[in-house]
Chains A and B, each alone.
Chain A
Amino acid sequence: MPDWMVWTGPTAAVFVGLGLLLCGMAIWARISPPVSRRGFLRIETDRGDRLYIGLISAAAVLAGWIAVTDLSMWLALAVAFLVVLAIGMWG
């Protein structure tokens, strides 16, 4: 990796995680093709859509958290994880 990209351990881990997640989704789609349905979001989504909505909402939760409160970010991470889970399961 060129050094102007100034990689750090944590950010590298995040991107590797994202990459693995995408690969996982691709393999899952091979094994059982995604089915669209309608959940509490009121729009038809398949699991890829829900993952995207979930991740974006999680990022919004983290950003909002850091803007307004001094409570631990680990707590925010837990909430964000719950959001991803909720949207993934019932969205």
Chain B
Amino acid sequence: MTATLPSRRTEPAAEDRAQGKRRANRAWFLVLPVVVSVAFTAVIPLMTVVNYSVQDIFSPDDRLFVGLEWFRSVARDPEVRAAFVRTLLFSAQVLLLEIPLGVAVAVVMPRRGLGVPAALVLVALPLLIPWNVVGTIWQIFARPDIGLGGWAVNNVLGLDYNYTLDAGDAWITVLVMDVWHWTPLVALLAYAGLRSIPDPYFQAAQIDGASAWATFRHIQLPRLRGVLTIAILLRFMDSFMIYTEPFVVTGGGPGNATSFLSVLLSKIAVGQFDLGPAGAFSLLYFLAVQIVCYVFFTVLTRTGR
């Protein structure tokens, strides 16, 4: 990645020589298939969304230009605003839980021996489960009547827990599910980061008689900065777009306790088929993602990996 995205830029020609890259505009022909395919799957749909967003459409022949009305109504819709705040809150909680937990898991993961491949596969498994099946797993597991998790909370801890009825319980279920699903990603990234620390660092720490905590705090954690930046931003982006898992488990409810931005948007788009509002909503959502995405990209490429 660093190859095409130099973090430090000098004169273009000198930079090319340093990277051993040739300047050749005919390389565009190699990229052309990608550009065409993405144009079909992304650019044309996006243009269409822009067109939707400024019209009231009854049919392709019967439509009315309404200017920015949909943007105004969507941006001021209390339901949309609530979903926005909810999604941000969810992302914040996800980060607060998953990052420390993931680092902790990475620290205790086996570093050599037969345990290594077993541990990698074990930790990676949740990441490879289809997202709707993650939903199904938790839909079953958290049920108070038939699920081990829900049953244990009710009968062992003695709490009154039912995610289909109580808004708070539903939120916690979705949050726990996300932690279960995605902490492994943070753990794997952090693990890869820890593995890249040369052994002499640890030997030096050992000679100095540093405690395990001091070793972690002063040797391991600083070295994890790069990986953790990636992990934080990845988790932010993904949790900001979460759809499938809450859709399967709670369907956005009870009420709209767990209707995040994507859930609400697809309800408006597919459920009600309101082209105009859905278009305006999409564009505002896209803008928010785009901004975060650019910040992410800048941080990633300019701080070096």
Chains A, B in direct contact (C-beta < 8 Å): yes
Point out residues on A near B: beta carbons under 8 Å. 3-8, 10-11, 14-15, 33, 36, 43-44, 46, 52-53, 56, 59-60, 63, 66-67, 73
Number of interchain pairs (Cβ within 8 Å): 57
| Docked complex: B268-291 residues within 8 A CB-CB of A | 284, 287, 290-291
User: Could you tell me the distance in whole angstroms from the C-beta of A36 to the nearest C-beta in chain B?
Assistant: 4
In the complex, what distance in Å separates the CA atom of A7 from the CA atom of B48? Answer: 8
Point out residues on B near A: beta carbons under 8 Å. 8-9, 12, 44, 47-48, 50-52, 54-55, 57, 60-61, 63, 65, 68, 71-72, 75-76, 284, 287, 290-291, 294, 298, 302
User: Could you tell me the distance in whole angstroms from the C-beta of A43 to the nearest C-beta in chain B?
Assistant: 6
Please classify the interface of chain A as helix (H, G, I), strand (E, B), loop, or mixed, using the class held by over half of its residues: helix
In the complex, what distance in Å separates the CA atom of A15 from the CA atom of B50? Answer: 10
Residues in B with CB closer than 8 Å to A46 are 9
With A5-B48, A60-B287, A60-B291 as contacts: A36 and B65 at CB distance below 8 Å: no
In the complex, what distance in Å separates the CA atom of A3 from the CA atom of B61? Answer: 8
Option from A5, A33, A52 in Cβ contact (under 8 Å) with B47: A5
Taking a contact as CB atoms under 8 Å apart, the answer to whether B68 and A73 are in contact is yes
With A43-B302, A44-B302, A63-B284 as contacts: A6 and B76 at CB distance below 8 Å: no
Residues in A with CB closer than 8 Å to B71 are 63, 66
Residues in A with CB closer than 8 Å to B284 are 63
With A15-B47, A44-B9, A73-B68 as contacts: A6 and B75 at CB distance below 8 Å: no
